[in-house]
Structure 1
Amino acid sequence: MILLQVQQVTRRFGAETLFSEVNLDIPEHGRVALVGRNGAGKSTLLKIINAEETPDEGEVTTKRGLTIGYQAQDTGLNSDKTVWNEMLSVFDRLRVMEGRIHDLEAEMSQPEIIADSERYEQILTTYDQLQHDFAAQNGFGYQAEIRSVLHGFGFDDHFYDQPINTLSGGQKTQLALAKLLLERPDLLILDEPTNHLDVETLTWLEGYLQNYSGALLIVSHDRYFLDHVANEIYDLSHGTLDHYKGNYSAFMDEKAAKLRREWKEYDKQQAKISQLEDFVNKNIVRASTTKRAQSRRKQLEKMDRIEKPDGEDKVARFRFSPTRQSGNNVLDVQEVGVGYDQTLLSYPINFTVKKRQAIAIVGPNGVGKSTLLKSILGMVPLLRGRVLFGTGVDTGYYDQEQATLHPKKTVLDELWDDHPTTPEGDIRSILGSFLFTGDDVQKPVHNLSGGEKARLLLTKLSMQHDNFLLLDEPTNHLDIDSREVLENALNEFDGTLLFISHDRYFINQVATAVIEISPDGSTPYLGNYDYYVDKKEEQAELAAQAEADNEQPDSASAASSSSQQTYQQTKDLQRAKRKLGREVDALETQLTDLEAQRTDLETQMAQPAIYNDPQKSLAMQTQLTEISHQIEVTEEEWTTKSLALEDFA
């Protein structure tokens, strides 16, 4: 069943057409991602879908009664209530129902009601129906659900009584999303929901959305997130919208293949056109061949010409090239403690960076990752330990806060002041490769967008020709295409990298090692992000196994030792079990929702206004049959997977 359709929608701003005649379908339980460059019109299209803006042409149609939840980019929750009370307000209807149940319980305990059997039976019938409805709508579990969602976003018990208007902007944004998830609309529309989330929260959100009972429409620059959540991609590019099945990686492969096919067809037609034009030019004036030449000219005139494929808009082009090579030992961090005002955020941190390594630093927000980079560079004092650089090391730093830019300077002066002997033409050429062209170079820095400032910082960094780059969240504010350009530039960089990132796809593409920072110090992992996640899972399972072993009697120690030795051979099986368990849980949630829909329909059909109207009754019966079929199919899938899960035991 289709929940929402965008049909032939066009949006203009003045004389400029942002996009034209776009079509988009969101099916029931759909997992749809909308991708495209900054400025392509993604957020505008979301606002049209949410009826916040009106299209110039076309329309958006929805299933009757569809509930839509929409969170715009970086939109925070403004409320005078405490965190708990604001989340609790989502369930006001349930709480009223709960109060009514308690009132009926009190009423049924009164002697005069008990003595009146007819009145008692009426109250009992109402009570039983309320109890059924209350249970079906998770009345006995909604407080646990609130705690689960708040915990997923990092809000522990001590946040519950805090007024929301005293929290930071980032916390308000996360609470707005938390409330939206608790509301469980039929269609959840999220514009950049992963902004400012640490890796732990991102992982939790992925799992939650994978099991979400409704449909999803998501705009995100987080490619790892899209790979794990979306199974349909709509690509908004050049004012048109193209549809692809599969996750983000599948979309990229198919889009590249499509572009290759388009070029092949274009080149084939161009060769044909050239052949025909050559024949016409050579034979049009010759009496013996003029008729054939005229025939080919008509063929050319009637030909439906294929437009030249334009795979992408302009992309930044840059590279990082060190002036000289460093020694093999680039950096040694020994027993370091980082923090502010003698408050340790993390200790002890130990790691070594070798030449041409690309090391990613990961860890929760607030643990001191950015402080570590600044401490290594001497911008913030070390609280403990020492940092040693190798020979010939030239450091370059990318600041995620963009504080190294001068807000009153122009783009041109920001670069030229650092390199006054470089001719203006060369400076403009370099800026052009980072997409600053024409009058763009005269823009004051304070007027630039976050993405433009990011590109300007990267421009400055490329001009320094350092051999050791320390980067703090370099992909923030960059669209997907710019991130891919940066990845290519860093992979081709003949130097050493130490970087912080929450972009797991970026880490996978660039990192050769990962260092996890926690309050208790550092833990190194050789490999990219996926390797780091696998090793973390192994360590957690080994720790759980060790804890179980400690609780076993001595007679079981030999068996325990044998079990631990075979762990490596069974880890894939255990991962498959966890995945299957998540699928079973998701099917259970889906069954609960479907059964609630069936109960609601049956209740409506029992009303005289419905069963006395043959047309309405037939429509509802058709809907009931469809839902019953979905329940049957889902139950069958649940049974199959539950039995498979039992086989793991």
Structure 2
Amino acid sequence: MLSINNLSFYFGSRPLYDGANLHIKPKDKIGLIGANGTGKSTLLRLITGEYQADSGNISKAGDCTIGFLNQDLLSYQTDDSILLVAMQAFERELFLQKQIDEVLHKMETNYEDSDIDKLARYQDEFEGLGGYTIQARAEEILEGLGFSTDDLQKPLRLFSGGWRMRVMLAKLLLQKPSLLMLDEPTNHLDLPSIEWVENYINNYEGAIIVVSHDRFFLDNTVTSIAEVTGQKINLYPGNYSFYLEEKSLRNEIQKGAFENQQAQIRQTERFITRFKAKASKSRQVQSRVKALERLEIIDDVIDEAAKVNFKFNFGTQPGRFIMNLEEVSKAYGDKIILKNTNAVIERGDKIALIGANGKGKSTLLRIIDGSEPIEGERKMGHNVIDSFYAQHQLESLNVENTLLDELKQAGTAKTEVELRSILGCFLFSSDEVFKKIKVLSGGEKSRVSLAKVLISEANFLLLDEPTNHLDMMSVNILIQALQQYEGSYIVVSHDRFFVSEIANKIWYLEDYEIKEYPGTYEEYEIWQEERKLNAEIAAPQPKIVEKKEAEKKPVLNESAKKEAQQNIKKLNKKIAELEEQIEKLESQKAESEKQLADPAIFNDVEALKRQNAEYRKIQDLLNNANNEWEAVMIEVEELEKAF
């Protein structure tokens, strides 16, 4: 379907790809991974043709269509409703609908035989494309991505960047391209929406390339991993977990081959040094020299499992309780976030706050931080020093500072050597510490901000979506740092792997209250599954009780019984009359449909209009008769329950 052959691409003087190859077949589901800056998003833009390769080629089948979800779409704004924006995916269907409307409008005043042919062709194609269901399909996908029914008619411009990205994802999914390319689709999705997208991808009939740093998402969606490393693309069959095992095995083999080759090189070099001055050995020496020149060098294995060796200390130990929230309520107008809720954070708590977007997780972090006004009491514990990380705080970085200067201004007494060591832990090595903030990518700025939070000597951290824009290596570093951190923290995150590694308690918002599960994320998931199962089992019980209650016959006296019997008799007579009326209307409807199907009627516009009007009138009468029949039947059933 699509083939990348011997691809080379330079970003300035730096090669991103050098002789890279990748072949994509129909229905392939590929996870594209690699460290930030290795060129994952660039590869997707090369495939779309936005960038041109310096050498090599990308060829695709003639019928291959490509859909690309990228972060640039966040800037798109319009006054159109999100439903209309999503329905732009149905370009051909909307064109046909417009043509049908124009032909029908023209036929009202200026009838021509050619219009009948046009109308038939347009309607046949429109129906074949499923044109009558496009709105229902768009609504289904938008609601699957977390929008409420009321949201669908709201203008796109009213939504935040993350929600706009969901609309663009919905539009892309509705287009159903033969190759769907998704660049970090989970960055702006909550857990329910991520699970919905996982299910959609699993049932998607085309090929998919997804760039993601969410391990669980990759495990649940892809069937192969394409790793960008060393200007090449290495393909591994299986999901991300299988990739880790396979890569470990490949690295072990490569390491052995590298060490064997290095031993051979050293031995050859010793022979050349020892005998190069002896004429009797000159032929052997020259042979060995040429052999070294021809040797295809095996690269050493690069250790990508970065380790955090710096211990993040704080000087002040807090008391037993970090924070108490008592009878806290919070609302924005009619939108209630919390209502008379209570919560306690104790020393040593590592809390993950999870759940759907719009429930108030970020608001709760601001309440705990003290920056959000509330009703109720917020009691900070003794000697608690907090530090708050959120995405908007990236804007507070001084863009003219170097990385080193920015950390120096964090207010700690750490030496320059210690600060450089910390930056090294966050993948900024050697001279990179002298880069200015303004040249950093979003992910690099996130790493600087996280480093500032972790060296602040705070004993209580509040982290809002800290893994957004971080590659897997950076997420791994953050996990290690938080696992070593001896203080307390509360983290908002939708990254299930991250949460499973760093949390010993789970918080979630339900019924306007803070609910707590005292265990790990894996245990929480099992508990939630059992909870759902128990709810499903218990759900029918109230209905059974209601039925039994309804089956209890009221006690009627003789006079009431006689009156009820007379009413039943009248209603049965009405039912018989309605059934006779329905039978006649159905016969009239069948005759009307027969006349409308007669090709001759299309030669007489006035007759066509009259027959259409007559058909609609019969259909309305039939619907009313059926509705009345149902209502009378229900009334009879209710009266009969008394006997």
Q: TM-score, normalised by structure 2?
A: 0.73
Output aligned runs, 1:148-187, within 5 Å: 148-187=140-179
The code of the aligned residue for 1:54 comes to: Q
Output aligned runs, 1:65-104, within 5 Å: 65-76=63-74, 77-91=76-90, 93-94=92-93
Output aligned runs, 1:588-603, within 5 Å: none
Where 1:365 maps in the other structure, the secondary structure is coil
How far residue 423 of structure 1 moved from its aligned partner, in angstroms, is 4.2
Q: Work out whether 1:401 is the aligned partner of 2:392.
A: yes
User: Could you tell me which of 3, 11, 14 is aligned with 2:12?
Assistant: 14
Contact 2:412 2:455 in 1 (8 A): no
User: Could you tell me which of 61, 64, 71 is aligned with 1:63?
Assistant: 61
Contact 2:6 2:55 in 1 (8 A): yes
Output aligned runs, 1:304-453, within 5 Å: 304-312=296-304, 318-323=310-315, 325-338=317-330, 344-389=336-381, 393-402=384-393, 405-407=397-399, 409-419=401-411, 422-436=414-428, 440-453=432-445
User: Could you tell me which of 220, 230, 250 is aligned with 1:258?
Assistant: 250
The code of the aligned residue for 1:374 comes to: R
Summarize the Cα distance change of 1:212–1:104 in structure 2 as closer, same or farther, 3 Å threshold.
Answer: same
Contact 2:85 2:167 in 1 (8 A): no
Distance in 2 separating the partners of 1:342 and 1:134: 43
Distance in 1 separating the partners of 2:304 and 2:359: 39
Summarize the Cα distance change of 1:268–1:497 in structure 2 as closer, same or farther, 3 Å threshold.
Answer: farther
Where 1:28 maps in the other structure, the secondary structure is coil
Distance in 2 separating the partners of 1:160 and 1:348: 32
Summarize the Cα distance change of 1:354–1:143 in structure 2 as closer, same or farther, 3 Å threshold.
Answer: same
Alpha-carbon deviations, 1:575-629, whole Å to 9, x = none?
Answer: xxxxxxxxxxxxxxxxxxxxxxxxxxxxxxxxxxxxxxxxxxxxxxxxxxxxxxx
Q: RMSD across aligned C-alpha pairs, in angstroms?
A: 4.1
Distance in 2 separating the partners of 1:302 and 1:439: 35
Alpha-carbon deviations, 1:140-186, whole Å to 9, x = none?
Answer: 43322111011122332323333334443333322121111111111
Larger Rg: 2
- Specify the alignment match of 2:593 in structure 1: none
- Specify the alignment match of 2:608 in structure 1: none
Contact 1:8 1:22 in 2 (8 A): yes
Q: Which runs of 5+ in 1 are unaligned?
A: 107-118, 558-649
Distance in 2 separating the partners of 1:240 and 1:366: 41
Contact 1:338 1:372 in 2 (8 A): no
How far residue 293 of structure 1 moved from its aligned partner, in angstroms, is 8.9
Distance in 1 separating the partners of 2:290 and 2:436: 55
Summarize the Cα distance change of 1:325–1:252 in structure 2 as closer, same or farther, 3 Å threshold.
Answer: farther
Using the aligned pairs only, state the percent identity.
35
User: Could you tell me which of 42, 62, 70 is aligned with 1:44?
Assistant: 42
Summarize the Cα distance change of 1:472–1:85 in structure 2 as closer, same or farther, 3 Å threshold.
Answer: closer
How far residue 251 of structure 1 moved from its aligned partner, in angstroms, is 1.4
Distance in 2 separating the partners of 1:9 and 1:92: 33
Output aligned runs, 1:215-230, within 5 Å: 215-230=207-222
Contact 2:410 2:456 in 1 (8 A): no
Contact 2:425 2:477 in 1 (8 A): no
- Specify the alignment match of 1:189 in structure 2: 181
Output aligned runs, 1:207-286, within 5 Å: 207-274=199-266
Distance in 1 separating the partners of 2:31 and 2:234: 12
Where 1:39 maps in the other structure, the secondary structure is coil
How far residue 359 of structure 1 moved from its aligned partner, in angstroms, is 1.4
How far residue 87 of structure 1 moved from its aligned partner, in angstroms, is 3.2
Q: Which runs of 5+ in 2 are unaligned?
A: 106-112, 550-643
Summarize the Cα distance change of 1:392–1:259 in structure 2 as closer, same or farther, 3 Å threshold.
Answer: farther
Summarize the Cα distance change of 1:210–1:296 in structure 2 as closer, same or farther, 3 Å threshold.
Answer: same
Distance in 2 separating the partners of 1:211 and 1:342: 39
How far residue 102 of structure 1 moved from its aligned partner, in angstroms, is 9.9
The code of the aligned residue for 1:502 comes to: H
Contact 1:198 1:502 in 2 (8 A): yes
Q: Work out whether 1:464 is the aligned partner of 2:463.
A: no
Contact 1:393 1:467 in 2 (8 A): yes
Contact 1:29 1:216 in 2 (8 A): yes
Summarize the Cα distance change of 1:370–1:40 in structure 2 as closer, same or farther, 3 Å threshold.
Answer: same
Summarize the Cα distance change of 1:209–1:348 in structure 2 as closer, same or farther, 3 Å threshold.
Answer: farther
Distance in 2 separating the partners of 1:328 and 1:374: 22
Moved more, 346-355 or 373-382: 346-355
Distance in 1 separating the partners of 2:6 and 2:21: 5
Distance in 1 separating the partners of 2:403 and 2:98: 63
How far residue 441 of structure 1 moved from its aligned partner, in angstroms, is 4.3
How far residue 188 of structure 1 moved from its aligned partner, in angstroms, is 1.1
The code of the aligned residue for 1:91 comes to: F
- Specify the alignment match of 2:632 in structure 1: none
Q: TM-score, normalised by structure 1?
A: 0.73
Where 1:160 maps in the other structure, the secondary structure is helix
The code of the aligned residue for 1:247 comes to: N
How far residue 245 of structure 1 moved from its aligned partner, in angstroms, is 0.8
Summarize the Cα distance change of 1:185–1:397 in structure 2 as closer, same or farther, 3 Å threshold.
Answer: same
Where 1:485 maps in the other structure, the secondary structure is helix
Contact 1:199 1:364 in 2 (8 A): yes
Moved more, 165-174 or 452-461: 165-174
How far residue 360 of structure 1 moved from its aligned partner, in angstroms, is 0.3
Contact 1:7 1:59 in 2 (8 A): yes
The code of the aligned residue for 2:485 comes to: F
Where 2:499 maps in the other structure, the secondary structure is helix
- Specify the alignment match of 1:505 in structure 2: 497
How far residue 104 of structure 1 moved from its aligned partner, in angstroms, is 11
- Specify the alignment match of 1:145 in structure 2: 137
The code of the aligned residue for 1:53 comes to: Y
How far residue 59 of structure 1 moved from its aligned partner, in angstroms, is 1.0
Contact 1:318 1:462 in 2 (8 A): no
Q: Give the number of aligned pairs.
A: 545
Where 1:188 maps in the other structure, the secondary structure is strand
Distance in 1 separating the partners of 2:409 and 2:51: 44
The code of the aligned residue for 2:69 comes to: Q
How far residue 28 of structure 1 moved from its aligned partner, in angstroms, is 0.8
How far residue 516 of structure 1 moved from its aligned partner, in angstroms, is 0.7
Alpha-carbon deviations, 1:30-56, whole Å to 9, x = none?
Answer: 111211122111111111111112111
How far residue 136 of structure 1 moved from its aligned partner, in angstroms, is 5.0
The code of the aligned residue for 2:496 comes to: R
Contact 1:364 1:518 in 2 (8 A): no
Moved more, 182-191 or 326-335: 326-335
Summarize the Cα distance change of 1:419–1:392 in structure 2 as closer, same or farther, 3 Å threshold.
Answer: closer
Moved more, 284-293 or 297-306: 284-293
Summarize the Cα distance change of 1:353–1:78 in structure 2 as closer, same or farther, 3 Å threshold.
Answer: closer
Contact 1:348 1:522 in 2 (8 A): no
Alpha-carbon deviations, 1:261-296, whole Å to 9, x = none?
Answer: 211222233344445656777788999999999987
- Specify the alignment match of 2:193 in structure 1: 201
User: Could you tell me which of 455, 476, 480 is aligned with 1:484?
Assistant: 476
Distance in 2 separating the partners of 1:229 and 1:138: 28
Q: Work out whether 1:495 is the aligned partner of 2:494.
A: no
Summarize the Cα distance change of 1:549–1:463 in structure 2 as closer, same or farther, 3 Å threshold.
Answer: same
Output aligned runs, 1:536-547, within 5 Å: 536-547=528-539
Summarize the Cα distance change of 1:221–1:349 in structure 2 as closer, same or farther, 3 Å threshold.
Answer: farther
Summarize the Cα distance change of 1:31–1:341 in structure 2 as closer, same or farther, 3 Å threshold.
Answer: same
Alpha-carbon deviations, 1:467-523, whole Å to 9, x = none?
Answer: 332222111221121011111222233333321112122112222221112452122
Distance in 2 separating the partners of 1:88 and 1:417: 50
Where 1:523 maps in the other structure, the secondary structure is strand
Contact 1:320 1:462 in 2 (8 A): yes
How far residue 258 of structure 1 moved from its aligned partner, in angstroms, is 1.6
